[in-house]
């Protein structure tokens, strides 16, 4: 294990010294002396990083770093220390089969999860890496921890970013990314390979700008999605790199001869393309429905991704039906962005919306028809669609659903509130909802604890979510009597949600707020 770099000092924490090591340890670090204490800790906490040291002296340096880490992950994880050189703790170290004396620097770091040994900590012994590990012990390492990314300049703060842009004489290509972004992960290997090939002549840099503290940078450089690539020369932003399928060689060649992306040819509207689907307007709709006794109509918007995905299936189904002498019906489409009267008349609020018209009468809305085979099969036997699934808000659960009107008043009454800001269409939200819901059941009898949810797509909730700093879905935040304390960044699992609230019960929130203000 490599020597641990000295960490920055946190105001209010006791400074560790060799002579006072046994007496003065940061209050956030659990000092464990025997097996009984360790068992109790593992029974009550589910995310623990334990520093085993050869002696108090060898623990001094890593404990300085771990004091900072403990502060950063408070409520999410626990840091503990066992001094194996102490006569009281020696038996415990032997029982746990830990031998820090055999390590080069006299310390060993082990992680325990859900009451059992999980893994030896072998990631870089830095504040940033250790915090990331404790917040997600099973998550992927940070990009800068990848040895193959050693030639990428990793930027952590706006100050570092401004300094790099201002002082660097070489051309810079900056990737602004989010850790969870799939496209970013897919492009990183090519980007880091290009960084190695261009080392010395060009700079390839990366910056995670997903946190809200980087909102000004996102606004300044028009970062509306991830990844966004920005090219700089001598302190000036020139243009974007827009090849999202780029290989390492593509990056290298472009950096040697950078140029602005050519504007794409405008896309021909679906209604103007050769199509087996009948495209209807405000003027032709009624006549077409009267002429055809069985019509399935797709109401769509040209920019809608789900519509684009469905279009080929819909076209193929139309071709099959048009070539069938005994066709059970015809397919039509309406661009609601241009045929606004029809959109209002049939109350189209989402895309695509499929409606069936039989003998001129609007009969059913059919959200379950999305593929060629399903469409043709259904038209041969038209029938009412299955009842829609209840929305999360309509289900009877222990989660309280809030709106802009009642959010502040409700939150003021709760000592501990975990709030999930979400969008019903969001896949990550759908995966999280069952875990969040079952976690809420654990505290349904406790009046001062709440698990709450806000649908950011509804009415005035959009403005509320903006005020609460929602950048993506789901975003989960912790509040104490209506005051925002921190964003939840742990696992999106029932046990993690439950243990988080249990851990927050014991926190002194007035001290937390004061310490945040001091920092």
Respond yes or no: is residue 304 known to be catalytic: yes
Q: From CA 481, how far away is CA 216, in angstroms rounded?
A: 29
Residue 21 has which token pair? 């090591």
Backbone phi and psi for residue 434, each to the nearest 5 degrees, phi listed first: -60, -40
Q: From CA 351, how far away is CA 353, in angstroms rounded?
A: 5
Set 84, 93, 230, 307: catalytic member: 307
Question: How many C-beta atoms surround the C-beta of residue 250 within 10 A?
Answer: 14
Q: How many CA atoms lie within 13 A of 423 on its CB side?
A: 11
Residue 378 has which token pair? 């259904």
Q: From CA 278, how far away is CA 334, in angstroms rounded?
A: 9
In what order do the strands lie in the sheet containing 228-233?
153-155, 203-208, 172-177, 228-233, 236-241
Among candidates 385, 306, 284, which has minimal Cα distance to 314?
306
Return the SS3 of 241: strand
Respond yes or no: is residue 465 known to be catalytic: no
Return the SS3 of 54: coil
Set 84, 184, 230, 465: catalytic member: 184
Helix, strand, coil percent values for the chain (each to nearest 5): 35, 20, 40
Query: Bridge-partner residues for 361, per DSSP?
Result: 358
Q: From CA 496, how far away is CA 490, in angstroms rounded?
A: 7
- The Cα-based distances of 468 to 41, 134, 138, 413, 517 in angstroms read 35, 25, 28, 18, 19
Task: Identify the DSSP state of 339.
Answer: -
Going 313 to 315 to 321 to 324, the CA torsion angle's sign is negative
Among candidates 324, 323, 331, 321, which has minimal Cα distance to 270?
331
Residue 155 has which token pair? 């930027």
Catalytic residue numbers, as ranges: 181, 184, 304, 307
């Amino acid at each position: 294990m490599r020597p641990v770099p000295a960490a920055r000092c946190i105001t209010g924490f006791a400074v560790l010294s060799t002579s006072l090591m046994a007496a003065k340890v940061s209050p956030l670090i659990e000092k464990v002396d025997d097996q009984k204490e360790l068992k109790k800790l593992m029974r009550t906490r589910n995310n623990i990083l334990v520093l085993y040291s050869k002696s108090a002296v060898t623990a001094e340096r890593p404990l300085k770093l771990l004091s900072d880490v403990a502060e950063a992950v408070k409520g999410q994880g626990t840091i503990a220390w066992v001094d194996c050189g102490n006569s009281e703790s020696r038996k415990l170290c032997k029982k746990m089969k830990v031998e820090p004396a055999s390590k080069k620097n006299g310390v060993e770091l082990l992680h325990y999860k859900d009451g059992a040994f999980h893994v030896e900590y072998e990631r870089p012994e830095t504040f940033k890496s250790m915090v990331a590990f404790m917040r997600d012990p099973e998550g992927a390492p940070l990009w800068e921890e990848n040895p193959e990314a050693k030639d990428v300049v990793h930027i952590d703060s706006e100050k570092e970013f401004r300094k790099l842009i201002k002082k660097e004489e070489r051309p810079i290509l900056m990737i602004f990314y989010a850790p969870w972004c799939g496209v970013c992960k897919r492009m990183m290997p090519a980007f880091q390979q290009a960084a190695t090939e261009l080392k010395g002549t060009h700079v390839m840099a990366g910056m995670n700008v997903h946190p809200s503290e980087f909102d000004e940078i996102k606004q300044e450089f028009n970062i509306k999605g991830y990844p966004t690539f920005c090219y700089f020369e001598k302190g000036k932003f020139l243009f974007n790199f827009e090849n999202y399928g780029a290989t390492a060689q593509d990056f290298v060649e472009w950096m040697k001869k950078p140029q602005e992306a050519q504007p794409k040819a405008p896309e021909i509207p679906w209604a103007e393309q050769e199509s087996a689907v009948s495209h209807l307007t405000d003027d032709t709709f009624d006549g077409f429905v009267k002429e055809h006794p069985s019509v399935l109509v797709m109401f769509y918007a040209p920019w809608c991704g789900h519509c684009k995905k469905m279009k080929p299936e819909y076209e193929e189904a139309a071709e099959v039906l048009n070539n069938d002498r005994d066709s059970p019906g015809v397919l039509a489409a309406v661009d609601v962005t241009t045929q606004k009267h029809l959109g209002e008349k049939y109350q189209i609020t989402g895309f695509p919306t499929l409606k069936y018209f039989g003998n001129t009468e609007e009969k059913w809305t059919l959200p379950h028809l999305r593929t060629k085979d399903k469409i043709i099969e259904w038209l041969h036997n038209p029938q009412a669609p299955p009842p829609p699934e209840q929305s999360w808000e309509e289900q009877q659960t222990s989660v309280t659903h809030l709106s802009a009107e009642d959010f502040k008043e409700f939150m003021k009454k709760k000592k501990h509130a975990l709030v999930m800001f979400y969008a019903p269409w969001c896949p990550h939200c759908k995966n999280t909802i069952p875990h969040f819901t079952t976690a809420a059941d654990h505290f349904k009898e406790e009046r001062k604890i709440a698990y709450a949810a806000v649908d950011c797509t509804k009415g005035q909730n959009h403005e509320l979510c903006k005020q609460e700093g929602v950048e993506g879905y789901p975003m989960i935040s912790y509040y104490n009597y209506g005051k925002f304390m921190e964003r939840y960044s742990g696992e999106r699992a029932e046990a993690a949600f439950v243990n988080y609230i249990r851990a927050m019960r014991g926190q002194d929130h007035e001290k937390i707020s004061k310490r945040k203000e001091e920092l």
